[in-house]
Amino acid sequence: MSEAWLDEIQWTEDGLVPVIAQQHDTSRVMMFAWMNRESLALTVKEGYAVYWSRSRQRLWRKGEESGHRQKVIDIQLDCDADVILIKIEQQGGIACHTGRQSCFFRSLHDGEWQTAEPVLKDPKSIYK
């Protein structure tokens, strides 16, 4: 399969594109991350989300340590070709490194960020 479709993406100056991961059957936004050309191509090839970790400066296969992989159902590109939405099946029901379902678990109430979701699994038992 030709990878010419990668040329249609408006990459940032550092070669990245923002990616929103959304649970395919509930539309719940699970997380936000970055991909580069290699990680996006690997995501398509392998069928599971592969991101670019800016903090580690390396490819990061979601769930490589926790087992909470993201099976890709669909990949969509926005109208400006500068944001990707991947519709996923979140394996294990946990997307966040804090042990919560979603990385978006805090809500602003009366000028304060309040935790709105419980920890489903202690991160100490997820990560070694």
CATH number at residue 87: 3.10.20.810
Which residue's entry shows tokens 């969509």? Answer: 76
Average pLDDT, the chain: 95
Query: Is 110 domain-assigned?
Result: no
Query: Is 122 domain-assigned?
Result: no
Is pLDDT at 128 greater than 80 in this prediction? no
pTM of full prediction above 0.95:
no
Query: Structurally, how many domains does the chain consist of?
Result: 1
Q: What is the pLDDT of residues 53-84, one digit of tens each?
A: 999 999 999 999 899 999 999 999 999 999 99
Which residue's entry shows tokens 């519709």? Answer: 87
Domain that holds residue 50: 4-97
In angstroms, how far is CA 53 from the centroid of its own chain? Answer: 11
Closest among 67, 48, 68 to 59, alpha carbons compared: 48
Contact between 43 and 116 under an 8 Å Cβ cutoff? The reply is no
User: What's residue 1's pLDDT?
Assistant: 61
Element (H, E) at 1: none
**CB within 8 Å of 127: residues ≥ 6 apart:** 65, 66, 97
